[in-house]
Amino acid sequence: MDQPGLEAIDIRRMFSAIAPRYDLLNRLLSVGRDAAWRREAVRALPASAQGRPLAVLDVACGTADVALEVLRQRPGAWVAGVDFALPMLHEARRKLRAGGFNGSCALAGADALRLPFRDHLFDAALIAFGIRNVADRRAGLTEMARLVRPGGRVIVLEFSRPAWRPLRWLYEAYFTQMLPWIGRRLSGHPTAYHYLPSSVLAYPSPEGFSQLMAEAGLEGVGFRRLTGGIVTLHVGTVRGGNGTGE
């Protein structure tokens, strides 16, 4: 299930280069919708952790927007964030300190295919806008599932393509023409925002990605389209629990 495109080292360099302006670009290029999408993903976390603090793994955590949303929504939770672009983690640490959450989130440099944690350590693993960049998506999902307790959840938030043709046409026109132009000028990086639309257009359908999640050992896999299908939220349960996650 290796995917074509940039090599991992090129993707790491690209995200490292745009880290200082990553948040600004996310807000501008999504017209502010990215924060709402992350809130929906965090709402899909299990409701409880059987009397102990909820433990959440944030894969490809970037600048910690998801981790911060977890800590805001779920007081007392503990988050581990991993990313393979170290400048992203520098930005994440700054934001966690500014928000007073430095003691509630541990950050580490790591590849999504080789996560440095023991089996079944977390109640949920979440990846937002990062699974496209994993060389072997099925292996990445399997690795996330390995780290989640039986009955816990794997949550994936990712760009997709709207099913309604008029919206898809507008979306693809924006993605392939306007977004690269804006991104290049604001980020100063010549190719980063050309890679984004090409990777989204090559990404599986929600149904196809749900099949990958099932092949990775997850059950009860479902998805929900957000903002007309511009983004899709996928949720699966790790086998072996009661599957309630509540």
Q: What is the pLDDT of residues 54-79, one digit of tens each?
A: 999 999 999 999 999 999 999 999 99
Query: In angstroms, how far apart are the furthest CA atoms of the chain?
Result: 50
CB count in 10 Å sphere of residue 158: 23
**Rounded Cα–Cα distance for residues 125 and 45 (Å):** 9
pLDDT at 3 exceeding the cut of 50:
no
DSSP secondary structure letter of residue 205: P
Query: What is the pLDDT averaged over residues 215-239?
Result: 97
- What pLDDT sits at residue 6? 65
Q: Which of 209, 217, 201 is nearest to 234 (CA)?
A: 209
CB 150 within 8 A of CB 122: no
Cα-atom radius of gyration of the chain, to the nearest Å?
17
Q: What is the mean pLDDT of residues 201-213?
A: 95
Q: What does the pLDDT look like over 78-133, one tens digit per residue? A: 999 999 999 999 999 999 999 999 899 999 999 999 999 999 999 999 999 999 99
> Sign of dihedral through CA atoms 175, 181, 182, 183?
positive
Q: What pLDDT does residue 194 have?
A: 80
**Confidence check: pLDDT of 246 > 80:** no
Average pLDDT, the chain: 91
**What tens digit of pLDDT does each residue of 144-191 get?**
999 999 999 999 999 999 989 999 999 999 988 888 888 888 788 877
Q: For residue 242, what pLDDT band results from cuts at 50, 70 and 90? A: low
pLDDT reported for residue 193: 78
- Cα–Cα distance measured from residue 16 to residue 160, given in angstroms and rounded to the nearest whole number: 24
Average pLDDT over residues 203-211: 96
Q: Could you tell me which CATH number the domain at 8-160+204-238 has?
A: 3.40.50.150
pTM (2 decimals)? 0.91
